[in-house]
Amino acid sequence: MSGGGRRGWLRLADVMVATLLGFFVFAPLAVLVLLSLTEEWGRAFRGGLTLRWLLEVPNAFGAAIAHSVLIAGVTMAATLLMSAMVAYGVLTRRVHGPILVDTLVMTPLTIPYIVLGLALILAFKAPPFRLHGTVWLLLIGHLMIAMPLGYRTTQAVMEATDLSLVEAARSLGASEWTAVRRVILPLIAPGLVAASLLAFVTSLQNYSLSFMIAPERYKLAPLEIFTYVFAETGAYSNYNLAAAVSLCMMLVLLSALGVVRWLTGQSWHENINV
Amino acid sequence: MDAARALPRVGVTAPGRAASVAKSWIWLGLLLAPFLLFVVYPFAALVKTSVVTPTGAFTLRFYQDLFAIPRYLDKTWNTLAIAALTTTLSLLLGVPLSFYLWKRQFPGKRILVNLLVIPYMTPNYILALAIIFLFGQNGALAFALRRLLIDPEYRLPFNILFTYHGILAVFIFHSLTLVVFLVLALLAGIEPEYEEAARSLGASSLTAIRRVVLPMAVPAIAGAGVLVFSRVMVDYVVISLMGGYRYATLAVEVVNRYFGYLTYELAAALAVFLSTMTMAIMYGYLYWFRWRRRA
């Protein structure tokens, strides 16, 4: 085969690979965008663009979104506080047994969400701790699954920071709290923001754990998405609305993760939860 | 970590040492209490439920059921089969694809590779919805073909809902990009000199990749495989959404037992069994990885 022919084949292979990848990347996103912007699904290709479905999202999913954001927000704050405390304690050797701490904090990563959910139900459905069916259990569950990611990021950024600066500030007369607040905190702030966003995203997108332990009638966005997909009666089946809310959620998740990457320079694969 | 260990103990002076040790244990207890209470204790409760009869006696009956009743064996088999199938297919497709992307340059490559994070970060249930919207009988493809063929009654020759290949399609969408991403990230870190050295010694380009670069990529490939396998294995939502209960896996069966039949003990036994498998896979990989590094 001549050199020119080989190049031609390679060019063709390039196009095929690019098409395949492009399909994998854009097809799901494109169909969501298309659906959210078309008037009626049956006439998707006949024009009739509308913002109606996107504007309908707050109406149809308002309560669910508010709940999801509330849970994710509280999870985020708690994760931030706890992972900063644990990481600082471990790194300044104030806490014994760093391996024990790491293992314990990371354990939820190895337990399937469904199993963790069932375990939480079984442990807290009867006295002494009766939490099953309350929002508290939902919050606790979300905190447990957000901690591994938050902790890993916080610990990484603290490790990269010279904590002996605290000692330096203290030798100049500052109290430890002041030293941490004025010297360390500004240095690790971007990492902490990243850790918080990861916790937020983990909580916001979770389906399986929420499905198990969310109180009855406490609507959450991921669970509600399907309301309009599998309504067999047809009266409520509304692909456009389901696509619109999915699209909103994807945009929130992707932009949050984009900010994380920008802040930490971490590669994406360090931020995923199995 | 080592650098941090070499640090002086912050705020500890010699006379206060005993007090500081006590304080250290209190710190540890306070920080770990939530994890003991909300992860370890629930898991212990789960294990306890799975080995105690309703009357309170110890039994292994529920685990025996797990391995004796065909229904549960089927679920275990389903779980492992769909996970293995997804892993194999996405590695078979993804690894050559990553090597191709690594070697070749073409316009738009960088952008495409960077955008791979979109499907990879999309929650799997949204991906499942998107695939229903794309390939379902009321999806985009069906509508396009109906208009194209001017046949409003046209139906796609395949069903995506409630079928095995429908489930597989969602998992592949989710996993293939993950594989490409992880392997490509590793390949990007390999110095070209290795391959050039092999080629200067007379190896062909393919041989150089196969004998020199591929072995270096094995940990990333194995890691991607483990990640894909365990992601699929623990999945509940995609299978219940796309396959109903026909292709139920262990995770689906746990939910089914608990909410459907309210048989806590069996649900608990299934759950313990499932998480033993995931833990074994993850820790197994971790130890293999460390052992390989040391060797």
Residues in chain B with CB shorter than 8 Å from the CB of A25 are: 112, 115-116, 118-119, 177
The minimal CB distance from B32 to the residues A22, A104, A205 is found for A104
Residues in chain B with CB shorter than 8 Å from the CB of A42 are: 143
Residues B187, B213: Cα–Cα separation, whole Å: 8
Residue A6, class by beta-carbon neighbours within 10 Å (0-12 exposed, 13-18 middle, 19+ buried)? exposed
In a domain, B248, yes or no: yes
Residues in chain A with CB shorter than 8 Å from the CB of B113 are: 21
Identify the bridge partners of residue A38 per DSSP, sorted by sequence position: A49
Confidence band (pLDDT; 50, 70, 90) for A1? very low
Q: Residue B132, Cα to own-chain centre: how many angstroms? A: 22
Please calculate the CA angle B246-B249-B250 and round it to the nearest 5 degrees. Answer: 135
Using only C-alpha atoms, what is the Rg of chain B? Answer: 25
What CATH number was assigned to the domain covering residues A56-273? 1.10.3720.10
Q: What are the tokens at B99?
A: 């090597």
Tell me the average pLDDT of chain A: 84
Residues in chain A with CB shorter than 8 Å from the CB of B263 are: none
User: Which site among A10, A23, A25, A251 would you substitute to test the B interface, given the most B Cβ atoms closer than 10 Å to its Cβ?
Assistant: A25
- If you write DSSP's letter for every residue of chain B in order, what string do you get? -HHHHTSPPTT--GGGHHHHHHHHHHHHHHHHHHHIIIIIHHHHHHHHHHHB-TTS-B--HHHHHHHHSHHHHHHHHHHHHHHHHHHHHHHHHHHHHHHHHHH---TTHHHHHHHTHHHHHS-HHHHHHHHHHHHSTTSHHHHHHHHHTT-TT---SS--TTSHHHHHHHHHHHHHHHHHHHHHHHHHTS-HHHHHHHHHTT--HHHHIIIIIHHHHHHHHHHHHHHHHHHHHT--HHHHHHHTTTT--HHHHHHIIIIII--HHHHHHHHHHHHHHHHHHHHHHHHHHHHHHH-
**How close B10 gets to chain A, by Cα (Å)?**
6
**How close A224 gets to chain B, by Cα (Å)?**
12
Q: Is the pLDDT of residue B8 over 50?
A: no
Tell me the average pLDDT of chain B: 85
For residue B239, give the nearest of A112, A29, A252, A120 by alpha carbon: A112
Q: Is the pLDDT of residue B139 over 50?
A: yes
ipTM for the assembly? 0.86
Residues A21-60 have pLDDT tens digits of 888 888 888 999 988 888 776 554 555 778 888 888 888 8
Residue owning tokens 């294990």? B47
Q: Is A171 on the interface with B (CB under 8 A)?
A: no
Residues in chain B with CB shorter than 8 Å from the CB of A93 are: 4-5, 7, 9-10
The minimal CB distance from A269 to the residues B25, B185, B279 is found for B185
Confidence band (pLDDT; 50, 70, 90) for B267? very high
Q: Is A148 on the interface with B (CB under 8 A)?
A: no
pLDDT of residue B5: 44
Start-to-end Cα distance in chain B = 22
Q: Please, are residues A104 and B39 in contact by the beta-carbon 8 Å criterion?
A: yes
A 192-251 → B contacts, CB under 8 A:
205, 207-208, 211-212, 222, 225-226, 229, 239, 242-243, 246, 249-250
Query: Residues A55, A57, A60, A64: is their CA dihedral positive or negative?
Result: negative
Q: Please, are residues A146 and A75 in contact by the beta-carbon 8 Å criterion?
A: yes
Residues in chain A with CB shorter than 8 Å from the CB of B240 are: none
Using only C-alpha atoms, what is the Rg of chain A? Answer: 24
Residue A150 exposure: Cα atoms within 13 Å on the Cβ side: 30
Please calculate the CA angle B263-B264-B270 and round it to the nearest 5 degrees. Answer: 100
The minimal CB distance from A122 to the residues B38, B237, B264 is found for B264
Residues A55, A58: Cα–Cα separation, whole Å: 7
Residues B152-173 have pLDDT tens digits of 778 888 888 788 888 999 999 8
pLDDT of residue B110: 83
pLDDT of residue A123: 93
**How close B176 gets to chain A, by Cα (Å)?**
9
> What is the tally of structural domains in chain B?
1
B25/A124 CB distance under 8 A? no
Mean pLDDT of B275-293: 89
B32/A101 CB distance under 8 A? yes
Residues A151-202 have pLDDT tens digits of 988 888 888 888 888 888 888 888 888 888 888 888 888 889 888 998 999 9
**Listed range (A235-239, B96-100, B220-224, B251-255) with the worst mean pLDDT:** A235-239
Residues A1, A226: Cα–Cα separation, whole Å: 55
pLDDT of residue B4: 45
The minimal CB distance from B46 to the residues A29, A119, A254 is found for A119
In a domain, B129, yes or no: yes
Confidence band (pLDDT; 50, 70, 90) for B268? very high
Q: Is A85 on the interface with B (CB under 8 A)?
A: yes
In a domain, B16, yes or no: no
Q: Is the pLDDT of residue B93 over 90?
A: yes
**Listed range (A130-144, B7-21, B68-82, B211-225) with the worst mean pLDDT:** B7-21
In a domain, B228, yes or no: yes
pLDDT of residue A46: 58
Range of the domain at B125: 63-294
Q: What percent of chain B has pLDDT over 90?
A: 31
Q: Is the pLDDT of residue B229 over 90?
A: yes
B38/A140 CB distance under 8 A? yes
Residues in chain B with CB shorter than 8 Å from the CB of A22 are: 112
Q: Is the pLDDT of residue A110 over 60?
A: yes
Strand, helix or coil at A234?
coil
The minimal CB distance from A85 to the residues B31, B234, B267 is found for B31
In a domain, B185, yes or no: yes
Query: Residues A30, A33, A35, A38: is their CA dihedral positive or negative?
Result: negative
Residue A4, class by beta-carbon neighbours within 10 Å (0-12 exposed, 13-18 middle, 19+ buried)? exposed
Q: Please, are residues A274 and B227 in contact by the beta-carbon 8 Å criterion?
A: yes
**Listed range (A72-76, A113-117, A170-174, B284-288) with the worst mean pLDDT:** A170-174
Mean pLDDT of B53-76: 87
pLDDT of residue A95: 64
Question: Which amino acid is residue A87, in one-letter code?
Answer: A
Mean pLDDT of A253-271: 72
Query: Residues B255, B259, B263, B264: is their CA dihedral positive or negative?
Result: positive
pLDDT of residue A226: 80
Give the DSSP H or E segment for A272. Answer: none
**How close A274 gets to chain B, by Cα (Å)?**
5
Neighbours of B125 (CB within 10 A): 25
User: Which site among B2, B24, B35 would you substitute to test the A interface, given the most A Cβ atoms closer than 10 Å to its Cβ?
Assistant: B35
In a domain, B274, yes or no: yes
pLDDT of residue A47: 57
Contacts of B79 (CB under 8 A, 6+ apart): B233, B249, B250, B251, B274
Q: Is the pLDDT of residue B13 over 60?
A: no
CATH number at residue B280: 1.10.3720.10
More confident position, A205 or A97: A205
Q: Residue B107, Cα to own-chain centre: how many angstroms? A: 32
Confidence band (pLDDT; 50, 70, 90) for A233? very low
Mean pLDDT of B41-55: 91
Mean pLDDT of A128-152: 90
Q: Is the pLDDT of residue A137 over 50?
A: yes
Q: What percent of chain A has pLDDT over 70?
A: 87
Contacts of A157 (CB under 8 A, 6+ apart): A188, A190, A191, A192, A194, A195, A264
User: Which site among A32, A68, A122 would you substitute to test the B interface, given the most B Cβ atoms closer than 10 Å to its Cβ?
Assistant: A122
More confident position, A228 or A269: A228
Q: Is the pLDDT of residue B22 over 50?
A: yes
pTM above 0.90, yes or no: no
A 26-65 → B contacts, CB under 8 A:
26-29, 31-32, 34-35, 41-42, 44-45
Mean pLDDT of B49-63: 87
Question: Which amino acid is residue A258, in one-letter code?
Answer: G
Q: What are the tokens at B18?
A: 């005993």
